[in-house]
Structure 1
Amino acid sequence: MINLAGVHPPVTTPFAEDGGVALEAYDANLREWLSHHVAGIVVAGSTGEAPLLSRRELGALVEATAARIGDRTLTVGTGAESTREVVAVTREVAALGAHAVLVRSPSYYLKAMQPGVVRDHFLAVADASPVPVILYHIPQFVPVHLTPDLVGRLVEHPNIIGIKDSSGDLRNLGALVEACGRNAQVLVGSGALLYAALEAGAVGGILGVAVIATRSSCALYDAWREGDHARAGAMQERIGPLHKTVVAGSGIAGVKAALDRLGLYGGSPRSPLQPADAAKLAVVDGALEAAALGVSA
């Protein structure tokens, strides 16, 4: 089983003025993120605007990341509405160098997504995937709840190795930890809860805030692992407000604006998402100033 312990930034996708993926800018950003003690990189997560990418663009991003990732874990979001599509994309990214895939539940036909249907979907993906599968629970975007009971049954499959819980509910995360037991690892999706989640049994996090506060996010995890709870708490106080204000409060436009402010390439989100307006930029600037962030913070 891949060891998922640590911080995995779900990296943004930069777009050029013509609307295409800006691969040179992506590579420059990637080198900065990988200069820190991250456990891995997640391509095509929610922060990476996964639903707005074509399969060709996804492949290019995976290839670029695989060329840089070294001995760290490359996880790729391959969620889609049909089981067939998830399997096809999963096989493609595995062939390009992905070590694991992050898979959300289908949700367009919401009423049909009963627990047995969802179970069969994930088991079919796990059976067909050449790389390990991480379940993705993000009820604010995908209103299909991966309950602890369902997850406990799913992780009995040897190719399902973990779950990312972005519910923001610490009790739910604790229940998932208990349900997974020794069969799978739990990753938290909220930067406001990293310290508490580690205490509750999570092994790390896939954290949007780690894209803009990479050093501080890794420092929190490292301090916790070393038993330095005072430093871990101090780092949590630093990144928690950034998560709430920039990641959760301002969305992808806010995260990308923060990257621009920090000397990396953020740029605009892909339409129909809109860039940060003046009010949102003021919020982002205030949050970065309060956290005393620099380009390597």
Structure 2
Amino acid sequence: MATPPAPGIYVPVPTFFVSKKAATYDPIAAPVDIDTQVAHSLYLARAGIKGLVILGSTGEAIHLTNKERFEVLSGVRQAFEKEGFTDYPIIAGTATQNIEETVEQLKGAKEAGAQYGLCLVPGYFAGASTQEGVIRWFTAVADKSPIPIMIYHYPGVSNNVKVVPSTFVTLAKHPNIVGCKLSHGDVSYHAQIASSPSIDHSSFATFSGLGQQLLPVISIGAVGAIDGCAGFFPKTVVRLFELSLKNQPTDEEVQKRRLLQYKVSTMEEIIVKFGTVGIKEAVSRLRGFGDRDGTRLPLHGGIPGDDAEWAKWKEIVDAMEEEENSL
């Protein structure tokens, strides 16, 4: 059976597009900015992030052509190899609902240098969706995929299709399905999957998609998080993960990890409220990568309210920045 991604903190990175000031800028579909993509990816790898999800929801996968997908994935892979990050984990997202197209994207991802695929649960026909249909869809994709895949369960972008724990138990038995990302706040579902005695957790890893619940989900068997906040506060989220792993923490460590969880949970509210737009704004303002409103249509502009809205987050941003700089 295939091996799942190693435990740790992964980042669902945004896809960067060329600046409005560039000669190649197109207001309908700005070209991808590989240089900025590479710079941000290397920044995260050097900060202790275990691996990257490229072309997930944050990466606006549905806004890119297959040619652009290849350019982004291969550009980052080549940069990692050049800078000494040999075999650094890249998980390529897919958001298509046609099985053959999904497999084609997974084949392209392998060719570009990705080791895993993260496949979004199909949700167009939510009213007619069944657990058996979900099982058969993922089984068909996994049977044909040249790289191991993970189940991406994000009801918020899958028309509220919910995959029940028993479906994960069934799919976890497939030799080419190696884990899941659970991007929802149902901690009970996390427990029923990450702690299930019916799943071989050495071959199926459960990741939360929300750093907001990192500390509690680690205690029930999750192996890490694929977390947007770590895209601009990587060291802080990694430190929270490390403290969450301690089985016999000191009183000081208990207090520290609770405080870190509070800070991360509070900071993540900007992502809950603004999604990809909020992540891009934070990455740009705090780390200097890309434009604050560098998305593709139908996403348009940065955080509504711009400077006035960002000012509302100053207290928690400053607290997180102080934490980040201390690590």
Matched, 1:282 2:278: no
The 2-side partners of 1:78 and 1:234 are apart by: 35
1:99 Cα shift? 0.8
1:201 Cα shift? 1.1
Aligned residues: 296
Matched, 1:213 2:240: no
1:278 Cα shift? 5.1
Question: What corresponds to 2:61 in structure 1?
Answer: 50
Question: What corresponds to 1:270 in structure 2?
Answer: 296
Counterparts in 2 of 1:262 and 1:113: CA distance versus 1, 3 Å: same
Larger-Rg structure? 2
Amino acid at match of 2:99: T
Q: Which runs of 5+ in 1 are unaligned?
A: none
Trace 1:248-263 onto structure 2 (pairs within 5 A): 248-263=272-287
Partner residue of 1:155 out of 160, 172, 185: 172
Question: What corresponds to 1:66 in structure 2?
Answer: 77
Match of 2:150, SS state, is strand
Amino acid at match of 2:107: R
Match of 1:135, SS state, is strand
> Contact 1:257/1:281 (CA < 8 Å) preserved in 2?
no
1:294 Cα shift? 4.1
Deviates more, 1:152-161 or 1:68-77: 68-77
1:280 Cα shift? 5.0
> Contact 2:281/2:303 (CA < 8 Å) preserved in 1?
no
The 1-side partners of 2:103 and 2:209 are apart by: 24
The 2-side partners of 1:95 and 1:169 are apart by: 36
Question: What corresponds to 2:221 in structure 1?
Answer: 201
1:100 Cα shift? 0.6
Match of 1:9, SS state, is strand
Partner residue of 1:137 out of 129, 150, 153: 153
Amino acid at match of 1:237: Y
Q: Which runs of 5+ in 2 are unaligned?
A: none
Amino acid at match of 1:38: I
The 2-side partners of 1:37 and 1:120 are apart by: 37
Amino acid at match of 1:219: R
1:11 Cα shift? 0.3
> Contact 1:9/1:41 (CA < 8 Å) preserved in 2?
yes
Partner residue of 2:255 out of 230, 240, 245: 230
> Contact 1:258/1:288 (CA < 8 Å) preserved in 2?
no
Question: What corresponds to 1:4 in structure 2?
Answer: 6
The 2-side partners of 1:102 and 1:190 are apart by: 16
Match of 1:26, SS state, is helix
Question: What corresponds to 1:33 in structure 2?
Answer: 44
Amino acid at match of 2:141: V
> Contact 2:12/2:227 (CA < 8 Å) preserved in 1?
yes
1:234 Cα shift? 2.3
The 2-side partners of 1:281 and 1:53 are apart by: 29
Amino acid at match of 1:240: S
Output the TM-score relative to the length of structure 1: 0.93
Matched, 1:291 2:317: yes
Counterparts in 2 of 1:261 and 1:134: CA distance versus 1, 3 Å: same
Question: What corresponds to 2:195 in structure 1?
Answer: 178
Counterparts in 2 of 1:170 and 1:283: CA distance versus 1, 3 Å: farther
1:200 Cα shift? 1.6
Deviations 1:134-160 (A, max 9, x none): 101001111221110111101011111
